[in-house]
Structure 1
Amino acid sequence: MPAELHRTRVDLEGLMKVLGDHLYSTPVVALRELVQNAHDSCERRRIEDRSPFTAKIHVLADPSARTLSIEDQGAGLTAEEIERYLATIGAGYTRTLRQSRPDAESGLIGFFGLGFLSAFVVAERVEVWTCSYQQPDRAWRFLSRDGHSYSLEQGADRPVGTRVTLHLQEAHASLANPSAVRRLLSRYVCLLPVPIHCPLDAALARREDHWGEAVNAVPPPWRPLAGGDEVENEPSPLRRRKLALDFARRFETDFEPLCTMPIVGAGPLTGMLWVQDAATYGSSDNRRVWAFVRGMMISDDARELLPRWAGFIGAVLESDRLTPTASREDLQRDAAFDAAQAQIHESLIEGLAALARDEPASWRRILNRHNEALLGAGLCDDRLFALVSEQATLPTSQGDLPLARIVQSSQGRLYVSQAQRGGFEELLFRALSLPVIQGVRYGALPVARRYAESRGLPLVILGTETGERALFRPVADDELEAGVAAALRQGFAGEGVDVVLSRFAPPHLPFVLVPDRDVELKQRIEADEADQRISTAALGLARLFTAAIDTGPPMRLYLNLDCPLLAALGRGLAEASPGAAQVLTLLRPLVALLSHIDEQQRYMSSEQALRALCTLGERMLEDRHE
């Protein structure tokens, strides 16, 4: 039996419910969609009708009647067009016009033919009065309560254009609040070229035909001035910066904009970026991006357009090449989206460089607030690293210092500690009066490494064997008198401690107890608690790394044979001198007390060390009385 061809059927009621209730994330979208339709109607009339007209849109919110009306002086609709486009889901005249007139592409917004559906999300009844420029002597009234069915009748004479009135559901009565609607419009439609008026008193505006200033009267800072007097009317640089900051403040409500940067270069975008005037940490993500397509706001959270490192940046972006999703609340991830990301990245690099060059006061404020974030950002781009590495600061044992000063103070080296707090590094380098970079802070170690590599400087990572070789010069047993090396090792021996004879500065520091940071890491990763804190996949990768680490003694005690006391002690212990034994009893507790190591990893506990010192003091006093 041959296969039969059937037509797919549509459950209109079910489809309307899905599209009406679930296509849009917020009912506020209805306002945007209907204003967009009004705009496209004006564009259509401009393209098709040779008669002169003034394009404008009126949005009237009436709380007493609980209605919201959107009225335009656009092309209007004939009865046939009402049936073909307004009353047919997915059929939009804008798409037809765009396909038949490619030259009209840039001014039109709509595409999917779904915008009118949004009216039924918020309204219990929708009325449309319309008159087409093609039949200016014939007007029509469309009425629908649920979008499933509608009535159409000839209406009273009216000017060419369309008025859509939503009789709002009680749950969406806020859309009849003129102040609230005006605030929404000031964001959603502020880039549209057609003037949009939203008077606070709709009845008064109609009666006196006075609509006030359009909500989109002020053009965005990146748009060229209207007319031919651009040069004559060009604002001063100071005035331009103020206008740009004022525009940014209309959007950025969480943080005060500190300074702005233009979108530059070839790509799908125009617009502006700004730096938020609020202190951030390296991992802060306060990115805010308002994305407009053909003048209409599509998203107020298009943060993926910004680099991940730009957690302190806000932006308003405009494009006619980005493609919205069907709900027009997000952007499709396509080649144009990728090009926009690349353009923003370049604009940020160039903009920050220009601020550092031309606005040093603003640049210093940026560094003060976003130092860590900029250092991390520099790791993602060589140009940005060159820009920030000379002035940004790294956390050190002597406070936050610029890298150049750290190098100067450290005699041409960079010392980095990986200790969570305190540690031998603090003791040793305080004695040496050298700054140590706190490598556990955000981005500090990779920034120090990149800086050292770019300038051919030695990088000493403390707590590793390589780093320790740069600090401690080993001493062979045969360099000392007979029995000295063995006596010192035996005298300072402790559980889990490798005693190392060495020479290091300063000579008045007799010893340093150094934890093996690699062994510490291995122990933390392999501990049972790690299973509860780290995901299985990440933990597996970490354990692959730590498997290559030898499980040796977790601590190394470096004895300084440049210290006269240690040298004399070694000889005394080798000769079994009673005085040397007493000095050893004094020094062993000091190793623990000066080590700055976690209690469970100490050479001896603090309690044991203090008891030993007290016992020694008592014994010395008793010996003196005898």
Structure 2
Amino acid sequence: MRALQPGSDCFSTEVNLNGLIEVLSKHLYSTPIVAVRELVQNGHDAIVRRRIEQPNAPQDNQIRVTADVAHSIITISDTGAGLTESEIHGFLATVGVGYTRMLRQQDDDTGLIGMFGLGFLSAFVLAKDVSVITTSWQTPEQGWKYHSTDGQRYSVTPCEATAPGTRVILKLKDEYSHLASNTLLERVLSRYCILLHEPVYVGDASEPVNKLLPPWRDAAPEGVTLHRALVQRKNLAFAAQFESSFEPICTMPVTPLGSSDAVGILWIQDGATYGTSDNRNLSLFLRGMLLDDEARELLPPWAGFIGGVIESSTLTPTASREDLQRDEIWHAVRDALTESLIAGLSDLAQNQPELWRRVLLRHNEALLGAALCDDRLFDLLKDRLQVPTSKGALLAKDLRVNNSINILLSQDGGFEEMLFHILQRPVARGDRYAVVPFLRRWASTYHCRIIEVGTRTGNEQLFSLADLPDEQVTYLETHLCDGEQLIISRFEPAVLPLVVTLDREAELKQILEQDDADKRMSTAALMLARQFTSQIKQTKTSSLYLNLNNPCVMQLVAALQHQRQPIAALKVLKSLKVILCAGGNKHQQWDLHQALDDFTQVIPTLINNGE
């Protein structure tokens, strides 16, 4: 630091320009090529400035970027306002001070882009030698040449006047010499400048890289309404320029809303998605210049099948101009995009049924989750989305039987799945994405019951409890059960003698009470979990429901009441349990071979006894 006056306590801060340039090159920009974007942006602002200050300025302005491969030089030329000698000293050679910023403070609706006064300094990220040749429209008879090799020391000398405008000549550092390629520059600037309002040319090309006119700027003549199909076709052609992974199915407009000035289009991707798929992509242009082509956070999290392009003039960039500040405008734009999506989906459902069916086919599972995020989406989708079930994908209303919807929570259906198969009733796959919360909300809306099979409360709704004497229950449990809790009950269909179900709560309690749970879980988490499971009285992880409605079971109980011991019949019933359950109940360690052997041995006995 340097004292301003002897003996004074007031000091001024000095700037280490070398250090600042190192920050720019290594930390501020994600890639050094961004410096070219910054200099093209300066050329754009110079053209806008000239149009503001010189009423009779030519309208056929342009920016041209040219590479000299042999000499590792990139030149950025513009037909803008140019610079006077004093402006070179006051703005070009002064870090953090920009003429553009001053003009924007006076009127921010001019279309000017620059803001921080750092754009020109980025030239030294790429170049070891920078020259600027400029002629101001204010002094067209005098040209000036700026020259510097490090950004700290520079010279300004008179030169021959040219047409008003500026040429920035970058003699590239050795490590960046490969950037002196018109092919590379065209690819980069086609990405950054595709929506820029002023034409940008590369090399000796006769067509600008930004000749593409975005649909929201290509308005129909006043009083003319374009047909929906024509608008959709134009929008899809534009979207295809940005969507690299999927074909866009249809587009939805983005229009200003509240504090958001964002305009553009969103589209639905044609690739099939799962519930957790996230293929969001959003290209964001600020005043025509690409700021971020991965601005996905502006789209709602549920929109994993959406792409888009938007532009804004009011969003606030970070100093690198590669990201946005999360301020009120950012949140307003994000809200506006959500509203555009919901309005677009609603319009699609009401007015474009063929496209809507295609969207539902591709993104049904993702939309199940989306429907839970917004009341309007739920109202739109609740009777249109299909739910995975034991009988394939069905609408929620087709799952409703006796004012109940059955949900199988486990992937291993076991006997429960067989139960519903025999009853010819579909059961929802509760292990699939968003199925349980979607059906709970649907059931609440339409006032019907949810039966979550595999939970104690759910099973109590499926099976009516019945009673037998304790000694009979003990006897049956001894001969039928392999660690399950025997529950005497009545249920349909009567042809099914028994059902084995897993108790998920008891299973969780057993896992948490194992000694090695202390090694796998944090103490705090384990304590909370055990507080929950301490309320669970059930200790066996599966239950065998014996059906007193079944004729064979009724005869078995009658034999017990007459003090008979139907050992052969019990063996058949137990073998039947194992044979039917072994494929679906993977948690049970039943011996299928032994069950088949018992079944094979008991049949001859029954035949010989005439039973």
TM superposition score normalised by structure 2: 0.92
Question: Which residue, out of 354, 378, 381, partners 2:374?
Answer: 381
State the 1:506 CA deviation.
Answer: 0.6
Give the Cα–Cα distance (whole angstroms) in 2 for the partners of residues 261 and 494 of structure 1: 59
State the 1:611 CA deviation.
Answer: 3.7
Does residue 584 in structure 1 map to residue 588 in structure 2? no
Please name the residue that 2:184 is paired with: 180
Contact 2:412–2:585 (8 Å) recurs in 1: no
Give the Cα–Cα distance (whole angstroms) in 2 for the partners of residues 70 and 541 of structure 1: 64
Please name the residue that 2:3 is paired with: none
Matches within 5 A, 1:131-150: 131-150=135-154
Greater alpha carbon shift after TM alignment, 497-506 vs 113-122: 113-122
Contact 1:16–1:148 (8 Å) recurs in 2: no
Please name the residue that 2:127 is paired with: 123
Give the Cα–Cα distance (whole angstroms) in 2 for the partners of residues 494 and 87 of structure 1: 87
Count of matched residue pairs: 601
Give the Cα–Cα distance (whole angstroms) in 2 for the partners of residues 259 and 401 of structure 1: 25
Matches within 5 A, 1:375-454: 375-407=368-400, 410-454=401-445
For residue 556 of structure 2, what is the amino acid of its counterpart?
L
CA displacement 1:469-510 (0-9 Å, x = unmatched): 2111111337xxx96555434443442x22111111111000
Contact 2:253–2:265 (8 Å) recurs in 1: yes
Greater alpha carbon shift after TM alignment, 235-244 vs 111-120: 235-244
Does residue 57 in structure 1 map to residue 63 in structure 2? yes
Q: 1:243 to 1:432 in 2, by over 3 A?
A: same
Please name the residue that 2:33 is paired with: 28
Contact 1:589–1:604 (8 Å) recurs in 2: no
Please name the residue that 2:90 is paired with: 84
Does residue 575 in structure 1 map to residue 579 in structure 2? no
For residue 84 of structure 1, what is the amino acid of its counterpart?
G
Contact 1:187–1:251 (8 Å) recurs in 2: no
Matches within 5 A, 1:511-522: 511-522=498-509
State the 1:522 CA deviation.
Answer: 3.5
Please name the residue that 2:283 is paired with: 290
State the 1:378 CA deviation.
Answer: 0.5
State the 1:615 CA deviation.
Answer: 4.1
CA displacement 1:314-362 (0-9 Å, x = unmatched): 1111111110000000000011111111111111111111111111111
Q: 1:551 to 1:63 in 2, by over 3 A?
A: farther
Q: 1:361 to 1:598 in 2, by over 3 A?
A: closer
Question: Which residue, out of 487, 495, 514, partners 1:500?
Answer: 487
Question: Which residue, out of 363, 366, 382, partners 1:370?
Answer: 363
Percent identity at matched positions?
44
Please name the residue that 1:39 is paired with: 44
Contact 2:413–2:584 (8 Å) recurs in 1: no
Please name the residue that 1:336 is paired with: 329
For residue 488 of structure 1, what is the amino acid of its counterpart?
L
Give the Cα–Cα distance (whole angstroms) in 2 for the partners of residues 358 and 535 of structure 1: 54
Does residue 563 in structure 1 map to residue 536 in structure 2? no
Q: 1:235 to 1:380 in 2, by over 3 A?
A: same
CA displacement 1:512-555 (0-9 Å, x = unmatched): 01111222233445667777887887767655544543342211
Contact 2:21–2:122 (8 Å) recurs in 1: no
Greater alpha carbon shift after TM alignment, 526-535 vs 559-568: 526-535
Contact 1:418–1:517 (8 Å) recurs in 2: no
Contact 1:57–1:71 (8 Å) recurs in 2: yes
Give the Cα–Cα distance (whole angstroms) in 2 for the partners of residues 78 and 22 of structure 1: 33
Please name the residue that 1:15 is paired with: 20
Contact 1:499–1:557 (8 Å) recurs in 2: yes
Please name the residue that 2:4 is paired with: none
Give the Cα–Cα distance (whole angstroms) in 2 for the partners of residues 45 and 435 of structure 1: 72
Does residue 245 in structure 1 map to residue 239 in structure 2? no
CA displacement 1:552-582 (0-9 Å, x = unmatched): 221111011110000001111333435x221
Q: 1:536 to 1:310 in 2, by over 3 A?
A: farther
Please name the residue that 1:311 is paired with: 304
Give the Cα–Cα distance (whole angstroms) in 1 for the partners of residues 79 and 513 of structure 2: 72
For residue 452 of structure 2, what is the amino acid of its counterpart?
I
TM superposition score normalised by structure 1: 0.90
Please name the residue that 1:108 is paired with: 112
Contact 1:270–1:319 (8 Å) recurs in 2: yes
| 1:81 match: secondary structure | helix
State the 1:163 CA deviation.
Answer: 1.1
Question: Which residue, out of 184, 189, 195, partners 1:191?
Answer: 195
For residue 213 of structure 2, what is the amino acid of its counterpart?
P
Give the Cα–Cα distance (whole angstroms) in 2 for the partners of residues 190 and 411 of structure 1: 59
Question: Which residue, out of 441, 465, 476, partners 1:488?
Answer: 476
Please name the residue that 1:208 is paired with: none
Give the Cα–Cα distance (whole angstroms) in 2 for the partners of residues 295 and 97 of structure 1: 18
Contact 2:128–2:171 (8 Å) recurs in 1: yes
For residue 592 of structure 2, what is the amino acid of its counterpart?
S
| 2:11 match: secondary structure | coil
State the 1:147 CA deviation.
Answer: 2.1
Give the Cα–Cα distance (whole angstroms) in 2 for the partners of residues 117 and 384 of structure 1: 49
Give the Cα–Cα distance (whole angstroms) in 2 for the partners of residues 536 and 391 of structure 1: 45
Contact 1:484–1:571 (8 Å) recurs in 2: no
Does residue 213 in structure 1 map to residue 207 in structure 2? yes
CA displacement 1:8-57 (0-9 Å, x = unmatched): 23222222212233210112211211111111111111111223312322
State the 1:88 CA deviation.
Answer: 1.6
Does residue 606 in structure 1 map to residue 601 in structure 2? no
Contact 1:57–1:194 (8 Å) recurs in 2: yes
| 2:325 match: secondary structure | coil
| 1:594 match: secondary structure | helix
Question: Which residue, out of 197, 210, 225, partners 2:219?
Answer: 225
| 1:477 match: secondary structure | coil
| 2:163 match: secondary structure | coil
Give the Cα–Cα distance (whole angstroms) in 2 for the partners of residues 530 and 367 of structure 1: 43
Q: 1:169 to 1:610 in 2, by over 3 A?
A: farther
CA displacement 1:72-103 (0-9 Å, x = unmatched): 1111111111122111221111111222x22x
State the 1:608 CA deviation.
Answer: 3.6
Give the Cα–Cα distance (whole angstroms) in 1 for the partners of residues 537 and 68 of structure 2: 77
Which consecutive residues of structure 1, in runs of 5 or more, have no partner in the other structure?
206-210
